[in-house]
């Protein structure tokens, strides 16, 4: 499998602040490249160093990074947000992109199993491969890998910062947000 390396094309970055800490988003001219979640409680300086180490040419904002950062700020404050933003798919395999598209279709606050996603993309025996794609997802929340659980509904690994506790926090927040919005419209 090819290793995802878009660092040379990543030119733009923006930051977003939440009650949990500061996060960041990186993009190329083609679309979003990576999201740095705020679960570490990190300050701006720490996230800036992390992004600079991985993407040395990303030193200014673009319309896309500003838009993504604004949406992530709203998301982490509990708003129901749709992330219809371009994604730089360079370096993704056809399989990974199929998985990510299926995962992006899962509504907020809902979950699907690895095996269900495997069946949905026409690869019913690829549940472990779905797990591998989730572990390499560079765009957590945008590609909501936290919405994928084990076949029995059990929380399984989460490679983004904070691990399973972060995954559970995101799902709980989404369920509350979705419930609020149903109450407002119902």
- Active-site residues: which are they? 145
Rounded to an integer, what distance in angstroms lies between the CA atom of residue 104 and that of residue 83? Answer: 9
Asked if residue 38 lies in contact with residue 76, where contact means CB atoms within 8 angstroms, the answer is yes
What tokens appear for 112 in the block?
A: 């699907």
CA nearest to 156, candidates 185, 179, 130, 178: 130
């Amino acid at each position: 499998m090819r290793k995802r390396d878009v660092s040379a094309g990543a030119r733009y970055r923006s930051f977003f602040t939440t009650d949990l800490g500061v996060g960041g988003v990186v993009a190329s001219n083609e679309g979003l490249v990576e999201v740095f979640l705020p679960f570490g409680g990190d300050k701006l300086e720490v996230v800036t160093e992390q992004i600079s180490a991985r993407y040395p040419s990303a030193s200014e904002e673009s319309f896309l990074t500003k838009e993504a950062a604004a949406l992530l700020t709203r998301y982490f404050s509990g708003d129901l947000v749709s992330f219809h933003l371009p994604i730089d798919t360079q370096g993704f395999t056809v399989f990974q992109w199929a998985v990510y598209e299926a995962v992006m279709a899962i509504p907020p606050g809902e979950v699907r199993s690895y095996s269900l996603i495997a069946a949905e993309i026409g690869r019913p025996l690829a549940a472990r491969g779905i797990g591998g794609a989730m572990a390499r997802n560079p765009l957590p929340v945008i590609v909501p890998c936290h919405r994928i659980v084990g076949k029995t509904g059990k929380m399984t690994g989460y490679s983004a910062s904070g691990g399973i506790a972060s995954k559970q926090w995101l799902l709980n927040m989404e369920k509350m947000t979705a419930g609020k919005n149903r109450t407002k419209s119902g």
